[in-house]
């Protein structure tokens, strides 16, 4: 079993990944931590509580950061044109959910849960990396106690989606991402190189909803706005970014990878760009030296990933 803390900013594709993590038989979802990004922290936390309630998820929800790791960074607007005004496809999520959050802030929830389960916890982070960076700042030793970190973010050999060189999650808090990439823990980075070519059609999702239970039907409903947004890039379907990261936890063999030190550009016209220095390549001394080698996904068996997502969602 993989003990997983899911760090998320629900978000439509976040919701699909959450249901996958909840239902996969090899995953023990022990916590949900929220972060701002697809919407404000109040909205993403409410959405996490809403999905917890609707899908009968036992894991606690801990509210996370509402400003970037460097608080002087200027905030950009919420991408309501992607995820809707309510963050879940404008399905009419109630303004409040009558469920409590964990009393600890997300970064401390991460620290204490990792320390209580040394060597066992996988962090699956599919939004900005702020909570993880704050946890590292407060308790750097947890890097030695985490089993692995699986990130949805970045782009290495393909263009970005919020600038020519940057992906949204990394661009939203580059300083946090750089802190996470350069920390001495194992990081697997699932970015646009693989997620942008892994799509689920509207008809495929509807067929799953027709076959599945109320949870899958809700997922289908909240995905429609998101699918409409993707009409510029996908033929009547959507990229399942965050679910690819969830799949990596249980089926890394469906991905091809390179390894090397990873840095994030902080500032300037390349703000948020992710760069890997492949292992074995020699360069003059510089800012890449003595950094941990991380795993960057560069290829994916997309059809097998999509089928695994569907099969897992249908495990009621």
Q: Is 232 a catalytic residue?
A: no
Are the C-beta atoms of residues 226 and 238 closer than 8 Å to each other? yes
Catalytic-labelled residue, pool 7, 9, 193, 242: 9
Q: Where are the beta strands (DSSP E) in 245-310?
A: 255-264, 274-278, 294-300
The long-range contacts involving 111-119, CB below 8 angstroms and separated by at least 24 positions, are 111/135, 111/138, 111/139, 111/142, 113/5, 113/30, 113/31, 114/5, 114/142, 114/145, 114/146, 115/139, 115/142, 115/145, 117/3, 117/30, 118/145, 119/145, 119/147
Give the CA dihedral 120, 245, 155, 260, nearest 10 degrees. 30
Q: Is 171 a catalytic residue?
A: no
Catalytic-labelled residue, pool 24, 83, 241, 242: 241
Phi, psi of 191 (to 5 degrees): -115, -165
Q: Which residues carry out catalysis?
A: 9, 241
């Amino acid at each position: 079993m993989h003990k997983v803390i899911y760090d998320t900013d629900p978000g439509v594709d976040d919701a699909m990944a959450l249901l996958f993590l909840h239902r996969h038989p090899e995953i023990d979802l022990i916590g949900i931590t929220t972060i701002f990004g697809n919407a404000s922290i109040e909205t993403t936390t409410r959405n996490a509580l809403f999905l917890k309630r609707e899908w009968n998820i036992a894991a606690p929800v801990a509210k996370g950061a509402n400003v970037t790791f460097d608080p002087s960074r200027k905030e950009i607007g919420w991408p309501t044109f992607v995820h809707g005004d309510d963050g879940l496809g404008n399905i009419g999520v109630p303004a409040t959910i009558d469920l409590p959050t964990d009393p600890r802030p997300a970064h401390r929830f991460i620290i204490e849960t990792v320390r209580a389960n040394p060597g066992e916890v996988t962090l699956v982070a599919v939004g900005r990396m702020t909570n993880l960076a704050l946890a590292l700042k407060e308790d750097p030793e947890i890097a030695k106690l985490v089993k692995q970190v699986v990130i949805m973010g970045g782009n290495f050999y393909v263009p970005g989606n919020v600038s020519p060189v940057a992906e949204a999650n990394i661009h939203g808090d580059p300083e946090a991402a750089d802190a996470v990439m350069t920390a001495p823990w194992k990081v697997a980075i699932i970015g646009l190189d693989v997620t942008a070519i892994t799509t689920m059609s509207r008809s495929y999702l509807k067929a799953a909803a027709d076959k599945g239970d109320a949870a899958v039907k809700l997922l289908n409903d909240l995905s429609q706005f998101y699918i409409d947004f993707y009409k510029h890039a996908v033929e009547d379907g959507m990229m399942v970014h965050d679910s690819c990261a969830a799949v990596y936890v249980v089926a890394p063999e469906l991905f091809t990878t390179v390894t090397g030190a990873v840095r994030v550009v902080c500032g300037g016209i390349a703000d948020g760009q992710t760069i890997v220095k492949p292992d074995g390549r020699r360069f003059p001394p510089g800012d890449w030296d003595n950094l941990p080698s991380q795993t960057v996904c560069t290829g994916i068996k997309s059809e097998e990933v999509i089928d695994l997502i569907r099969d897992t969602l249908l495990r009621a």
